[in-house]
Each structure stands twice: as C-alpha cells, then as structure tokens.
Structure 1
C-alpha cells in the first residue's frame, strides 16, 4: 500500500518520523482519516487519540490535548503541545485533570468569551483523556 511521511513534533522533541499508510486525527471538526495524496490543508486538533496505521493495522495510538496538523499529499506534520502513548494514560491523572479544568471553567465564567472557550477546550481534552485511558 502507498505511504506518506508522518512527523509528530512536540515542543521538546521529534516524537515520530516514518512512512505510514494512514493517520487518524481528532480534528476540531471531527475524526479525520488521512491517506497518501490527501488535499493540502491545515487543521486544528482537539483533545483525542491519533492513530497510526501500518501494514493494515493500527500500530500506535497517542493522546494529544490539542495542536495542529499540516497535511500535504506526501506528508503530515503534527504539532502538539503534549502527546502521551495511550497505554501510559492514567485514569486517576485524567480525573484529577478534569477536576482542575472544571474549577478553571467555573472561574472563567466571569471572564472574556475567549477565556471561557479556552477553559472549555481544556476540559473537553481532559474528558477525552479519561475516555482514552478507560479504553486502553
């Protein structure tokens, strides 16, 4: 099967760089599959799991709290603030993060719409982390 180059970058390091058959992305508008020859675009990522398919199988699953993906016909570059292999997620850490985000959202209610939106995005990412941890 045809492949494209997938590069996964966090602020600290290059996490992944290799040819893959498909990438499943948690785009802000919904789940998105990327195959070789995809139309060029830049998409915002919400909190969720990125799946990497090689040899007809999902070989890697990484949780991201958000970020961006640049897609070209031959390459996908994912820029994420934070990435964790799904197998390393902890339900207790996710629950703690949800509690912190709920408190921050309550405090942001009197703030600007941008502040409320950012707090809600962090809460939704924490809930997605809990879902991924429970499914692992």
Structure 2
C-alpha cells in the first residue's frame, strides 16, 4: 500500500487508532498540519484540538490534548496525553473537559500555556 499512510494514535490508556489511511490532520503547536504518505520526517508537539483522519470519503475526528507527533518514513505516530473520539464528547464527558480546559486557562502562567488552554476551550465550545 504505497499510497497509504501508516497511522497510530496512542494515549496512556489504550491504542486509540491504528491503520492505513489517506491523510491525517494534526493540531501542532506551529499550526495544524496534514500528513500524507511519503511525508518528510519531522516531530511536533500537540496543541489541544481535533485530529482528523481521512480515509477515502470517510472522516474521523478525535479530540487530542498534550503529547507529540512523529513523522518517519514508516508513517505517523501520535502519542497523546488525552484522546477522545468526537462522538464520545457529549454530556458529562464534554462538560468535564470544558471545565478542565477553563480551569487550565485560569491557571495559565505563560503565553504558551494560555494559548493551549484557549485553544482547548474554543475547540470544545465548538463541539
């Protein structure tokens, strides 16, 4: 499958996703970036946001927070401190994540912490 990207998304609790995909859009600290098959190697830390997995006409969205992305010739691996599929972000789970993001925003001591917390608040508000 030379025209597919090997992608793995892992959180501390479990492997969230593993498979061959067409593209992954990752919320990196330097901005969102897309990874396609045969992408140049690099690493990035993550900002809170929606990671988007594209495979054919299917699109899967997963909220990620903390961690890093590693693009190698073998594919893309994302190690996230938190990874919640968008369809699970509702009710009590969504309310808890919104509350945690607002708390982080209030406690932010650096511009970087403030940016990450603000992004989490905005992403979750749009969910």
TM-score by length of 2: 0.81
Instruction: Answer with 1 or 2: which has the greater Rg.
Output: 1
TM-score by length of 1: 0.77
| Residue number in structure 2 paired with 1:28 | 29
| Residue number in structure 2 paired with 1:19 | 20
RMSD (Å), alpha carbons: 2.2
Q: In 2, distance between residues paired with 1:80 and 1:95?
A: 18
Matched residues, number:
123
- Aligned partner of residue 36 in structure 1, secondary structure: coil
Please state which structure has a larger fraction of its residues in strand.
2
Corresponding position: 1:101 with 2:92:
no
Task: Point out where structure 2 has 5 or more consecutive residues left out of the alignment.
Answer: none
Q: Contact 1:65 / 1:126 at 8 angstroms: preserved in 2?
A: no
Runs (4+) of structure 1 exceeding 4 A deviation are none
- Aligned partner of residue 122 in structure 2, secondary structure: helix
| Residue number in structure 2 paired with 1:79 | 79
